Amino acid sequence: MKHQSKLNPEQQQSRQVGTEQQARQQPALEFATAEELLRYDAAHTTVPAGVERRLQKSAGDLPRPKPAWWKRLWGGTKP
């Protein structure tokens, strides 16, 4: 047996609007400072995987970097 809604179309529409409003009224995010907001934004940002792949290829085409100039000169002692 088909289950019919007890609400008339007007009530249904009103209910739908209410649900949409409720969805929009999610708890607001409040940040103490701009930096806090930027930190939140940074935490939700992911580096595209393509960067690492490209980097592996680019770095692989290069010779391995030489040790630091002071390391070559003083044999590993920090100047």
Would you tell me which residues interact with other proteins (CB under 8 A)?
Answer: 24-26, 28-39, 41-42, 44-48, 50-52, 54-55, 58-59, 62, 64-71, 76-79
Non-local CB neighbours of 5 within 8 Å, separated by 6+ positions: 12
Min dist CB 21 to other proteins, Å, is 9
**What minimum distance in Å lies between the beta carbon of 58 and other proteins?**
5
Can you tell me the distance from the alpha carbon of 18 to that of 24, in angstroms, rounded to the nearest whole number? 10
Nearer to other proteins, 9 or 69 (CB): 69
Query: The tokens of 33 are what?
Result: 């400072």
